[in-house]
C-alpha cells in the first residue's frame, strides 16, 4: 500500500534496478534530495492514513451507537409495560444486536456497549455509552490516543441519547372504497376491503401504543378519507361557511339551468327567488323534493382549485364547495307527449325477467314474455333495471302505457321524476312555467335534463333508491336520484379519539368507481390548519409531522356511456366532475386540445390531476406513503403512486407494491414502524 501511495505521489522507481542504477541516474542530485526527504514524507503519509482510518472508524462507531440507542428506545416505546424488567431486557438485547450488526466493517476492533433504559421512561431519555479499540496502520503516530499497553490500538469513546414522543403526529388515511375492493386479491384470501380495514386498524393501534408515553397534548391524531367515485364530507357540514349554500359557484350552472326557472332572477354570480329573495342553489332542489336529502358528497372544484388547498371564500365563488346533484334524466328518447300517463287496471305485472330482459314470470302465475291481457308493462319497477321511462301509477305499482299497450322507450340511467311535472296542461294552465320544446331532438332531451322547475311544488319522486340498481354495465351498489354515485361513508376529520377512528374504518364498504385524485385532495384538506377542515396544527409547527397514507387497488376510472341514448347528451356518467359533456374532467389536462371522450383518456386526465395534487401537498410539508394493492402490472396508477410517494432513504420512495394480502400487511407494518421513528428525536 505504501509503495502504491508513494508512486501515486510522484515517487517513480528508477529506470535501472537497484541502488547502482539509482546512483547512475543523471538526475542524481534530485534523487539524493528525494532520498533525504523520504523518511519525513513517510511519516506524513502514515499520519494521513491513520487520520483517515480514525475518521472512518469513528463515523461507523457513532452510527452504530445511535442506531442501537434508537432501537432500544423504539422497543421500550412500543412495549405494553415500558417500566418492566422484560421491557428493559428486550430493549437492551435489541440494541445490542443492532450495534453488532453495524460494526461489521470494523471486524478486528473490540467494542463494548452499555444501554440505560431509565426504568422505561423513554420520554426522559434512553442513553448509551460505548468504547471501541481500533487498530492503527502505524505504531505511535497518535501517542495521545493509543492504549499504553498496546500502541497498535486507538481508544474511542462515545454516547447517544434518545427521547420518545418529541414530535406530534397528524396522519390522514386515504383509502379506496370502490366496488373492486369487495373482491379477493388475485392470490386469494379475504376480500380486499376486509384486509384493508384490518391493517388500517392495526396501524392506528400500533401507533397509539408507540405514542403512549408522549407528554404533548393530543400527540397522535388521525383523519380518515374513504373514496370511490366521490368523497363524502358529511351531510352535517351542509351549512358550513365553505359550502356553496347561495349557489354562487359557476358549477351551479354546469348541469342545471336556473335561467329557465320562472321564479329565478339573477343576482350577482347566482340566482335568487324573485318572490322571497332567497338564494337558489342545489340545496334548494333537495329541499323541495319529497323523501330526499343531500347525503354529503361534493364535486371537485374548477381547475386549478381542484388540485390545491386554497381556502373557500364567497369572495372567490369558484373556491366554494358544491354539493353533488345528479339531475333527473329525461323520461324517454322520443319525447314525453306521445305517452298517455293514465291509471290502468290492477296487476298482473311482471315479477321476473330473463337475460334478454323479457318477462319470464307474471304475478298471476302466467309464463312467457307476453301476457294475454293488454295494458300491462313488460318491465316493472326496480326489476326494470333503471330504464328511463316514467311509470304510471297502478295502485302501489308503476307501469308505462300508451293507449293501453306496453311501450319501450330509449333508456336513461337516472330518471326519477316525471318530466311533465310543472308542465302547463289543461289542469295546470295557471302555472307560469317555462319548459323546453318537445320535438324529441337531442338538444331538447338535454334541455329537459337541465330544467330546474320540475323539482318544485313537492314533485312525486319515484324509486330514487332503486332506480339505477342492477344495470348490466353499471357499478354495483349505485342508487338513483340526486345522490347518484355518493356511495362512501363520510370522512373523519383529524381526531385524537382513536376508538371513533377505528369504528369508522370498520364502517367502510366497497361500491362505485375509483377517484384517487379527489381522495388525496381531501386527505390534504383534513391535514390543513385552514378551512374546510381546520383541525390540523399550523404548518409552521416544527415539532408536528403531517403524514398521508394513500392506498388503492386500481386505476383512476370514469366511464363513458355505451349503448344508451344519454350517451349523446351526457357522454359519461355523472361523477365528481359532473357529466362528460361539460369537459370538466379535462381541465388542466396536458392533452386537452385532443381530449377524446373515452375511458382511457379519462384515466390519463385524472392521473395528471392526482400527480399535481400530490406534488402540491408535498410542497406543503406533507409526507406521503402510497400503496398499490393487487394492481396489475402495467396499470398507470402504479407509476403515479410511486411518483406521489415522498423520498425514503437514498433513491428509494415511500411506495409499496403489495401484490397480495401478506404484502399489504407488511406494507402497513413497515409504514407504522417508519412513522413511529418520526416520534422519536435525538
Q: What angle do helix axes 498-506 and 192-210 make, rounded to 10 degrees?
A: 170
Question: Is the Cβ–Cβ distance between 487 and 511 less than 8 Å?
Answer: yes
Cell triple for 105: 466493517
User: Phi-psi bin for 571: left (phi > 0), alpha (psi -120 to 50), beta?
Assistant: left
Would you state the cell numbers that stand for residue 542, as one nine-digit string? Answer: 416544527
Cell of 462: 319515484
CATH superfamily, region 168-229+487-555+598-681: von Willebrand factor, type A domain (3.40.50.410)
Segment 651-681, tens digit of pLDDT: 899 999 999 999 999 999 999 999 987 766 5
Before 469, cis peptide (omega within 30)? no
Q: Which of 179-193, 279-293, 415-429, 432-446 has the lowest mean pLDDT?
A: 432-446
pLDDT given at position 119: 86
Checking if the pLDDT of 22 tops 50, the result is no
Q: How confident is the model at residue 569 (pLDDT cuts 50, 70, 90)?
A: confident
pLDDT of residue 635: 94
Q: At what angle do helices 516-527 and 636-644 cross, to 10 degrees?
A: 20
Q: What is the pLDDT of residue 515?
A: 98
- pLDDT score recorded for residue 387: 30
Q: What distance separates the 2 farthest-apart alpha carbons in the chain?
A: 131
Give SS3 for 604: helix
| CB proximity list for 37: less than 8 A, separation 6 or greater | none
What CA–CA distance (Å, rounded) separates 467 from 447?
Answer: 21
* pLDDT above 70 (res 86): yes
Burial string for 314-330 (b: 16+ CB within 10 Å, else e) reads beebbbbbbbbbbbbbb
* pLDDT band for position 358 (cuts 50, 70, 90): low
Q: In sequence order, what DSSP letters do the residues of 319-375 get, joined into one string? A: GSB-B---PPPPS-SS-GGGS----------EEEE-TTS-EEEETTS-BSSS-SSSS
Question: Which pTM was predicted?
Answer: 0.72
Write down the pLDDT at residue 45. Answer: 53
C-alpha cell at 386: 333503471
DSSP characters over 116-177: E-GGG-TTT-EEEEEEEEEE-SSTTTTTTTEETTEEEEEEEEEEEEEEE--SEEEEEEEEE-
Give, for 478, the enclosing helix (H) or strand (E). none
Domain boundaries, the chain: 2-164, 168-229+487-555+598-681, 250-319, 328-479
SS3 percent helix, strand, coil of the chain, rounded to 5, is 35, 20, 50
Give the cell for residue 208.
397509539
Confidence of residue 209 (pLDDT cuts 50, 70, 90): confident
Q: How far apart are CA 472 and CA 512, in angstroms?
A: 14
What distance in Å separates the CA atoms of residue 130 and residue 319, rounded to the nearest whole number? 58
Q: Given this model, what pLDDT does residue 396 score?
A: 33
CB atoms within 10 A of CB 521: 29
Mean pLDDT of 7-23: 40
For residues 197 and 670, the answer to whether their CB atoms sit within 8 Å is no
Angle at which helix 28-78 crosses helix 85-101, to 10 degrees, equals 160
**Residue 599 pLDDT greater than 80, yes or no:** yes
Residues 6 or more apart whose Cβ sits within 8 Å of residue 436: 260, 444, 447, 448, 451
Amino acid at each position: 500500500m505504501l509503495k502504491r501511495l508513494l508512486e501515486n505521489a510522484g515517487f517513480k522507481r528508477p529506470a535501472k534496478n537497484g541502488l547502482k542504477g539509482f546512483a547512475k541516474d543523471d538526475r542524481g542530485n534530485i534523487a539524493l534530495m528525494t532520498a533525504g526527504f523520504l523518511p519525513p514524507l513517510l511519516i506524513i503519509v502514515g499520519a494521513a492514513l491513520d487520520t483517515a482510518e480514525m475518521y472512518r472508524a469513528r463515523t461507523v462507531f457513532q452510527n452504530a451507537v445511535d442506531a442501537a440507542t434508537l432501537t432500544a428506545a423504539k422497543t421500550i416505546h412500543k412495549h405494553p409495560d415500558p417500566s418492566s424488567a422484560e421491557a428493559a431486557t428486550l430493549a437492551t438485547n435489541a440494541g445490542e444486536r443492532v450495534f453488532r450488526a453495524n460494526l461489521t466493517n470494523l471486524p478486528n476492533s473490540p467494542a463494548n456497549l452499555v444501554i440505560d433504559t431509565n426504568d422505561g421512561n423513554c420520554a426522559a431519555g434512553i442513553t448509551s455509552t460505548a468504547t471501541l479499540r481500533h487498530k492503527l496502520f502505524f505504531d505511535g503516530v497518535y501517542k495521545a490516543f493509543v492504549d499504553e499497553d498496546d500502541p497498535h490500538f486507538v481508544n474511542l469513546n462515545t454516547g447517544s441519547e434518545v427521547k420518545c414522543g418529541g414530535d406530534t403526529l397528524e396522519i390522514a388515511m386515504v383509502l379506496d372504497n370502490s366496488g373492486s375492493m369487495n373482491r379477493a386479491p388475485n392470490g386469494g384470501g379475504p376480500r380486499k376491503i376486509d384486509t384493508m380495514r384490518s391493517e388500517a386498524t392495526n396501524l392506528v393501534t400500533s401507533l397509539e401504543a408507540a405514542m403512549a408515553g408522549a407528554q404533548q397534548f393530543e400527540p397522535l391524531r388521525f383523519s380518515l378519507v374513504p373514496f370511490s367515485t366521490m368523497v363524502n364530507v358529511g351531510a352535517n357540514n351542509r351549512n358550513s361557511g365553505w359550502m356553496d349554500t347561495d349557489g354562487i359557484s359557476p358549477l351551479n350552472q354546469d348541469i342545471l339551468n336556473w335561467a329557465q326557472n320562472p321564479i329565478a332572477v339573477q343576482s350577482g354570480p347566482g340566482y335568487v327567488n324573485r318572490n322571497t329573495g332567497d338564494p337558489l342553489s342545489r340545496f334548494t332542489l333537495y329541499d323541495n323534493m319529497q323523501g330526499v336529502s343531500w347525503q354529503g358528497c361534493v364535486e371537485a372544484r374548477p381547475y386549478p382549485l381542484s388540485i390545491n388547498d386554497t381556502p373557500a371564500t364567497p369572495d372567490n365563488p369558484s373556491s366554494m364547495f358544491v354539493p353533488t346533484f345528479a339531475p333527473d334524466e329525461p323520461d324517454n328518447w322520443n319525447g314525453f307527449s306521445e305517452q298517455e300517463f293514465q291509471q290502468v287496471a290492477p296487476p298482473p305485472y311482471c315479477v321476473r325477467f330473463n337475460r334478454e330482459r323479457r318477462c319470464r314470470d307474471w304475478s298471476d302465475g302466467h309464463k312467457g314474455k307476453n301476457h294475454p291481457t293488454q295494458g300491462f308493462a313488460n318491465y316493472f319497477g326496480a326489476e326494470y333495471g333503471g330504464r328511463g321511462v316514467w311509470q304510471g301509477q297502478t295502485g302501489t305499482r308503476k307501469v308505462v302505457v300508451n293507449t293501453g299497450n306496453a311501450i319501450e322507450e330509449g333508456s336513461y340511467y337516472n330518471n326519477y321524476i316525471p318530466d311533465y311535472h310543472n308542465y302547463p296542461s289543461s289542469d295546470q294552465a295557471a302555472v307560469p312555467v317555462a319548459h323546453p320544446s318537445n320535438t324529441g331532438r337531442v338538444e331538447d332531451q338535454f334541455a329537459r335534463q337541465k330544467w330546474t322547475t320540475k323539482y318544485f311544488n313537492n314533485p312525486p319522486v319515484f324509486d330514487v333508491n332503486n332506480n339505477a340498481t342492477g344495470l348490466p354495465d353499471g357499478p354495483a351498489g349505485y342508487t338513483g336520484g340526486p345522490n347518484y354515485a355518493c356511495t362512501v361513508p363520510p370522512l373523519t376529520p383529524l381526531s385524537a379519539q382513536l376508538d371513533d377512528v377505528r369504528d369508522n374504518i370498520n364502517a367502510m364498504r366497497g361500491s362505485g368507481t375509483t377517484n384517487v385524485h379527489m381522495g388525496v385532495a381531501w386527505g390534504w384538506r383534513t391535514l390543513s390548519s385552514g378551512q374546510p377542515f381546520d383541525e390540523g396544527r399550523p404548518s409552521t409547527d416544527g415539532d408536528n409531522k403531517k403524514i398521508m397514507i394513500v392506498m388503492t387497488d386500481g386505476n383512476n376510472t370514469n366511464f363513458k356511456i355505451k349503448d344508451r341514448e344519454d350517451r349523446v347528451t351526457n357522454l359519461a356518467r355523472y361523477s365528481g366532475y359532473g357529466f362528460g359533456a361539460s369537459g370538466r374532467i379535462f381541465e388542466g389536462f396536458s392533452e386537452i386540445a385532443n381530449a377524446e371522450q373515452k375511458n382511457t383518456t379519462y384515466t390519463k386526465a385524472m392521473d395528471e390531476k392526482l400527480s399535481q395534487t400530490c406534488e402540491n401537498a408535498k410542497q406543503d410539508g406533507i409526507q406521503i406513503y402510497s400503496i398499490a394493492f393487487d394492481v396489475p402490472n402495467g396499470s398507470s396508477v402504479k407509476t403515479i403512486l410511486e411518483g406521489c410517494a415522498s423520498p425514503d432513504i437514498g433513491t428509494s420512495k415511500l411506495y409499496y407494491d403489495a401484490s397480495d394480502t401478506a404484502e399489504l400487511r407488511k406494507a402497513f407494518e413497515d409504514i407504522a414502524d417508519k412513522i413511529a421513528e418520526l416520534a422519536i428525536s435525538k
